[in-house]
């Protein structure tokens, strides 16, 4: 089982094009761990802002009466992909993995596959 730091390092090292990763509590908006980003990309602000995306989608699903679970939320920008993966097991309720990818180097199918694997190994 991997802890938060190990899981975030695994995101950046094993996923092509990954430039930043965070584990976020969407009930509070707080990042439990971050890795990457930089002076031009404040990962703490991005993590907190993406809690609004998750909350909004969950609220919409509830209003629609959908009995589904969110696997991933993908946001595509000109040069980046932002991938949000809600955690399901082992204390993951209320948490998501957030990954920023350079779209010129990333393979979305592989990134999703790797995030699922990392999620399964993560012990929160």
Rounded to two decimals, what is the model's pTM?
0.93
Q: Over its length of 124 residues, how does the chain's per-residue pLDDT go in tens digits?
A: 679 999 999 999 999 999 999 999 999 999 999 999 888 899 999 999 999 999 999 999 999 999 999 999 999 999 999 999 999 866 568 999 999 999 999 999 999 999 999 999 888 7
* DSSP bridge partners of 25: 30, 95
Q: What is the rounded (10 degree) CA torsion for 72, 36, 19, 30? A: 20
- Of the candidates 83, 90, 65, 78, the one whose C-alpha atom is nearest the C-alpha of residue 4 is 90
**Phi, psi (deg, nearest 5) at residue 84:** -115, 125
Domains of the chain: 4-121 (3.30.450.30)
Task: Compute the C-alpha angle 112/115/119, nearest 5°.
Answer: 140
Q: Running DSSP on this structure, what letter comes out for residue 89?
A: S
């Amino acid at each position: 089982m991997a802890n938060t730091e190990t899981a975030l390092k695994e995101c950046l090292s094993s996923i092509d094009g990954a430039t930043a990763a965070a584990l976020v509590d969407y009930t509070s908006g707080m990042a439990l761990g971050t890795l990457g980003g930089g002076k031009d990309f404040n990962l703490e602000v991005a993590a907190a802002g993406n809690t609004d995306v998750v909350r909004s989608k969950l609220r919409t699903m509830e209003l629609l009466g959908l009995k589904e679970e969110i696997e991933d939320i993908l946001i595509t920008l000109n040069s980046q992909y932002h991938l949000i993966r809600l955690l399901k097991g082992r204390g993951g309720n209320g948490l998501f993995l957030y990954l920023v990818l350079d779209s010129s180097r990333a393979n979305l199918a592989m990134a999703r596959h790797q995030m699922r694997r990392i999620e399964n190994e993560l012990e929160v």
